[in-house]
């Protein structure tokens, strides 16, 4: 499972916010508005911004759609296709960098149409900007879908060390154990087959 979102007050982490919302929508495509609101609150959105009048059921539905769209980028391993997809999002959102400060938030960078942009536009623009910054820093998508056969969790691989392929150490360990057991079974089957062939005698002519 992905790590829990940071507690309120720890600053903006748009890439992690994108990942957490995308994973939540992946787990439950119809995740309720209230659950999305709690997740956004954990990433620093204020109670006033998340009240039903400001974050409606229609807003939640649009946000779910935006999360599904960004999931297509988060599962794209090719840097050229990922860059093209992000440019499409920027073009759609009318991206133009500007500093914004609203509510009790400090100054921060926005690339959506304005402070009155809808939740979906905000999510698409902020998520695309975060991924674009990662792509330019690493030269390739430092994100992806867990390589474990039975896991579809999305992850960010922006930490130190070699390129990441799994959402968690548990998935990586479980996959290695399964591969090791499969190799041992194949070796045992091969040894049994060789022993059987060695025990066969060549037919003799009459």
Of 117, 125, 129, 119, which is closest to residue 63 (Cα–Cα)? 119
- Rg of the chain over Cα atoms, rounded to whole angstroms, equals 24
* Token code pair at residue 163: 């390129």
pLDDT reported for residue 96: 77
| Whole-angstrom distance, CA of residue 125 vs CA of residue 58 | 19
Provide CB contacts within 8 A for 9, sequence distance 6+. 44
pLDDT digits (tens, 9 = 90+) for 91-146: 888 767 778 776 676 777 777 776 677 899 999 999 999 999 999 999 999 999 99
Name the strand (E) or helix (H) holding 181.
helix 169-198
Alpha-carbon gap, residue 15 to 69, rounded angstroms: 15
pLDDT at 22: 98
Measured over the CA atoms of residue 88, residue 92, residue 98 and residue 102, the dihedral's sign is negative
The CA-based diameter of the chain, rounded to the nearest angstrom, is: 99
Task: Name residues of the chain where pLDDT drops below 50.
Answer: 1-10, 206
Q: pTM for this structure?
A: 0.77
């Amino acid at each position: 499972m992905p790590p829990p979102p940071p507690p309120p007050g720890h600053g903006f982490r748009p890439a992690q916010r994108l990942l957490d919302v995308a994973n939540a929508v992946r787990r439950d495509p119809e995740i309720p508005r209230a659950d999305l609101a709690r997740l956004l609150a954990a990433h620093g959105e204020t109670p006033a911004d998340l009240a039903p009048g400001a974050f409606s059921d229609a807003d939640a539905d649009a946000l779910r759609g935006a999360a599904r769209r960004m999931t297509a980028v988060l599962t794209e391993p090719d840097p050229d296709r990922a860059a093209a997809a992000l440019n499409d999002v920027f073009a759609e959102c009318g991206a133009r960098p500007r500093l914004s400060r609203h509510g009790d938030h400090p100054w921060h960078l926005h690339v959506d149409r304005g402070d009155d942009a809808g939740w979906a536009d905000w999510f698409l623009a902020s998520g695309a900007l975060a991924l674009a910054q990662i792509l330019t820093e690493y030269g390739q998508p430092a994100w992806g879908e867990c390589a474990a056969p039975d896991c579809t969790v999305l992850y960010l691989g922006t930490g130190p060390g070699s390129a990441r392929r799994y959402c968690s150490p548990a998935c990586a360990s479980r996959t290695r154990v399964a591969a090791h057991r499969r190799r041992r079974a194949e070796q045992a089957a091969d040894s049994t087959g060789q022993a059987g062939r060695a025990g066969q005698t060549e037919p003799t002519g009459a």
